[in-house]
Structures are given as structure tokens and as C-alpha cells.
């Protein structure tokens, strides 16, 4: 069985979401609703905040379902 991974980019960074890992803690959308909104599709709007704010919020994901990497780097950042 293949695991789903979704990617969203703003040109500077790419946010990676692994739905099967997500515990739905709600931290992403309650703290940065202009980027993360589960009521709309796609649910991640990379134009909703600046890159550093998105990185800050993604870094708070307790399950690790959200991660990011800088588009000019090959290493995944947590």
C-alpha cells in the first residue's frame, strides 16, 4: 500500500504533509489559519504568510505530519 504525501510550495520552501501521520492536533490551522484551512482545498495556502512564519508553524507540528525543505536544499528540515 502506498503512503500519500502532498507537497505545497511558495518557491522558497516546500511544505510536505503526510496525512496518514497527522493526528489532527489543530495547532496548524488554529495558529496560522491563513495558511492552513481544512475547510478549503487545497487546504494549505502557501501565499497566506511569509516563509519564516510558515516554517515556525510547521516546526510546531507534534506528529511530524508537516515538515518542510528549502527549495535550494535537498535535506528535509523538521
- pLDDT one-digit tens code per residue, 8-24: 999 999 999 999 999 99
Handedness of CA 75, 71, 49, 6 (dihedral sign): negative
pTM of the model: 0.87
Let me know if residue 75 belongs to a domain.
no
| Residues facing 14 on adjacent strands | 9, 69
Domain extent for 39? 6-70
Let me know if residue 39 belongs to a domain.
yes
Total of domains in the chain: 1
**pLDDT above 70 (res 74):** no
- Asked whether 15 and 69 are in contact (CB, 8 A), the reply is no
**pLDDT above 90 (res 72):** no
**pLDDT above 90 (res 45):** yes
Let me know if residue 59 belongs to a domain.
yes
pLDDT the model gives residue 2: 58
Task: Report the C-alpha gap between 43 and 37 in whole angstroms.
Answer: 5
- pLDDT one-digit tens code per residue, 19-44: 999 999 999 999 999 999 999 999 99
- The CATH code of the domain that includes 20 is 3.30.70.20
Let me know if residue 1 belongs to a domain.
no
- Asked whether 8 and 48 are in contact (CB, 8 A), the reply is no
Amino acid at each position: 500500500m502506498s503512503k500519500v504525501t502532498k507537497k505545497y510550495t511558495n518557491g522558497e520552501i516546500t511544505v510536505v504533509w503526510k496525512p496518514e501521520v497527522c493526528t489532527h492536533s489543530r495547532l496548524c490551522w488554529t495558529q496560522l489559519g491563513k495558511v492552513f484551512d481544512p475547510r478549503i482545498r487545497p487546504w494549505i495556502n502557501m501565499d497566506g504568510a511569509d516563509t519564516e512564519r510558515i516554517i515556525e508553524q510547521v516546526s510546531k507540528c507534534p506528529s511530524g505530519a508537516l515538515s518542510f525543505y528549502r527549495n535550494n536544499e535537498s535535506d528535509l528540515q523538521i
